Amino acid sequence: MPDHVLPAPPVASLAVAGSAARFPLRRIFCVGRNYAEHAREMGHDPDREPPFFFTKPTDAAFDAPEGGGVAIPFPPATRDLHFEIELSVAIGRGGTDIAEAEAPAHVFGHAVGIDLTRRDLQAQAKKLGRPWDMAKGFDLSAPHGAIVPVAAWNSPGAGAIWLDCDGERRQEADLAEMIWPVAGIIAALSRLVRLAPGDLIMTGTPAGVGAVAPGGVLAGGVAGLPGVSLRIG
Ligand code: MN
């Protein structure tokens, strides 16, 4: 190990179900507009505009297990904090130009996460043609349930996905509604960057996104995976 002029930052990580060892995070990639109804609710035509990628910093991710009583401060600089429930894919084996048929062999496991979004900053960025980073990549913007290794759960192609805000069901869809299925996402992303162990891909959110008020409680899930829940502010 080289000497550093400051203490090296800790490796960001997420819990792994049934394991004391954690999943070390290298990068977080996110898919935009991967469910047709969500693309439409955001004012876009999914038949004309394919999904795309953006990123969050790794230390935006944190454990927020269902029933864990996790609470975070309400994020600064927004009056319109939105929830987006998503299936996350944890990459265990890297590669470039990965064929769809080979993609499953690169997956370590899956988890459920929330892509917290400062929608007002995103709307402003879109209007001005500016990057989304400050709308998407802020501190604590990626709460997650535990990652389940593929040996225990490997059904990313279908199954219920949902989110409750303050006890009310707000998002409800099926993973089968993804425009790019998980294997297609891995293939597409691996043509843009060399995927590496520790990469996490948030695969996009279904329709029903909305604002959570200060003090609000979010709880969400994907059938068969441990849930995510937290209070905000
Ligand atoms: Mn999202």
Q: Which residues of the chain have pLDDT under 50?
A: none
* CB contact at 8 A, 201 and 185: yes
Domains assigned to the chain: 13-232 (3.90.850.10)
- Residue 205 Cα to ligand 1 midpoint, Å, equals 5
- Residue 5 Cα to ligand 1 midpoint, Å, equals 36
For residue 177, what are the CA distances in angstroms to 8, 33, 207, 231?
Answer: 42, 11, 11, 28
- Residue 27 Cα to ligand 1 midpoint, Å, equals 15
- Residue 178 Cα to ligand 1 midpoint, Å, equals 12
- Residue 3 Cα to ligand 1 midpoint, Å, equals 38
- Residue 94 Cα to ligand 1 midpoint, Å, equals 23
- Residue 185 Cα to ligand 1 midpoint, Å, equals 14
- Residue 91 Cα to ligand 1 midpoint, Å, equals 18
- Residue 30 Cα to ligand 1 midpoint, Å, equals 6
Structure confidence at residue 49 (pLDDT)? 87
- Residue 126 Cα to ligand 1 midpoint, Å, equals 15
| Three-state SS at 95 | strand
Taking the C-alpha atoms of residue 137 and residue 133, their distance in angstroms, rounded to an integer, is 5
Structure confidence at residue 179 (pLDDT)? 96
- Residue 24 Cα to ligand 1 midpoint, Å, equals 21
pTM above 0.85, yes or no: yes
Taking the C-alpha atoms of residue 218 and residue 212, their distance in angstroms, rounded to an integer, is 8
- Residue 84 Cα to ligand 1 midpoint, Å, equals 6
- Residue 136 Cα to ligand 1 midpoint, Å, equals 8
Kindly state the tokens that stand for 59: 């230390």
- Residue 204 Cα to ligand 1 midpoint, Å, equals 5
DSSP string, 135-190: HHS-TT-EEE--BEETTT---TTS-EEEEEETTEEEEEEEGGGBSS-HHHHHHHHH
Taking the C-alpha atoms of residue 222 and residue 158, their distance in angstroms, rounded to an integer, is 10
- Residue 202 Cα to ligand 1 midpoint, Å, equals 7
- Residue 17 Cα to ligand 1 midpoint, Å, equals 23
